C-alpha cells in the first residue's frame, strides 16, 4: 500500500497499523475517535468510563490490528473498532458492578442525530425509516444485537436491563420491523 495515511481508507490504515505504522494509527485515531466517543457516551454518561474504554480500545487496535479480517470476512474497520469498544464498555460495566459501584445510566439524548447518521450509513432508506419509527427501547436492543453484534447477555449489561427484557424487546422489535416492511 502506497500513499500518505490521510489518503487511505480505514481498512488500509488498520493494515498499516498491523505493520507498526504509527502515522497510520494516528490517522485512524483522528478519524474514528470522535464518533466512537459519541457512541460510547450514548451508552454511558460516566466520562471516566468512556475515556478508559476509548484508551483500551485503541490499545487493543494497536496490539491486535493483524487480527482484523476486514472485507474478506464481510466486515469493516469501523465495525471492528465498534465491536472492540462495545465489548470493552461491557467489561468496564462488569468491573464496576464487581466493585459494587453501578455505572451511571446513559443520559437521555436530546436528538437521535448520531444514531440516525449511523443507521443511514448502514441500512437502506426503507429499513432505516422503519428502525427510526421503533420505540427507543426496541431500537436500542436491535442496534446492540444486530448492528453492533452483541449477545443477549452483553446487550443486557450494556442497557442495564434483565436478559429476559432484552429477549422480549428483540422479539417485539422484529415483529414491528416485519410489519413495517410488509
* pLDDT greater than 70 at residue 13: yes
| pLDDT given for residue 47 in this prediction | 92
Is the pLDDT confidence value at 15 over 70? Answer: yes
Q: pLDDT digits over 18-68, tens only? A: 999 999 999 999 999 998 999 898 888 899 999 999 999 999 999 999 888
d(CA 67, CA 90) in angstroms, rounded, equals 21
Ramachandran bin of 15, using left for φ above 0, alpha for ψ from -120 to 50, beta for the remaining angles: alpha
Average pLDDT, the chain: 80
pLDDT at 99: 61
pLDDT of residue 142: 83
CA dist 81 and 30 (Å) reads: 13
DSSP assigned state of 99: T
Of residues 94 and 27, more confidence is placed in 27
> For 145-153, what is the mean pLDDT?
78
Question: Where do the H-state alpha helices sit in the chain?
Answer: 10-18, 22-43, 47-64, 77-98, 113-122, 125-133, 136-142, 152-159, 163-181
CB count, 10 Å around CB of 126?
Answer: 10
Q: What is the pLDDT of residue 73?
A: 61
Confidence tier at 14 by pLDDT (50, 70, 90): very high
Give the pLDDT mean for 74-85: 84
Does 4 score more than 60 pLDDT? yes
What count of residues does the chain have?
182
Share of the chain above pLDDT 70, in %: 81
Q: Which residue has the higher pLDDT, 33 or 148?
A: 33
Amino acid at each position: 500500500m502506497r500513499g500518505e495515511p490521510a489518503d487511505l481508507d480505514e481498512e488500509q490504515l488498520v493494515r498499516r497499523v498491523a505493520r507498526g505504522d504509527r502515522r497510520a494509527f494516528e490517522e485512524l485515531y483522528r478519524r474514528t475517535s470522535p464518533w466512537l466517543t459519541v457512541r460510547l457516551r450514548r451508552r454511558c454518561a460516566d466520562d471516566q468510563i468512556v475515556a478508559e474504554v476509548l484508551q483500551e480500545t485503541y490499545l487493543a487496535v494497536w496490539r491486535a490490528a493483524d487480527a482484523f479480517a476486514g472485507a474478506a470476512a464481510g466486515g469493516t474497520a469501523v465495525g471492528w473498532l465498534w465491536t472492540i469498544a462495545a465489548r470493552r464498555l461491557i467489561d468496564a460495566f462488569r468491573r464496576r458492578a464487581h466493585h459494587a459501584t453501578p455505572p451511571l445510566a446513559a443520559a437521555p439524548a436530546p436528538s437521535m442525530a448520531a444514531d440516525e447518521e449511523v443507521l443511514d450509513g448502514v441500512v437502506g432508506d426503507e429499513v432505516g425509516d422503519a428502525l427510526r419509527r421503533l420505540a427507543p427501547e426496541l431500537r436500542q436492543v436491535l442496534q446492540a444485537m444486530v448492528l453492533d453484534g452483541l449477545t443477549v447477555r452483553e446487550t443486557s449489561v450494556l442497557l442495564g436491563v434483565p436478559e429476559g427484557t432484552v429477549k422480549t424487546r428483540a422479539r417485539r422489535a422484529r415483529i414491528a420491523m416485519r410489519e413495517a416492511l410488509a
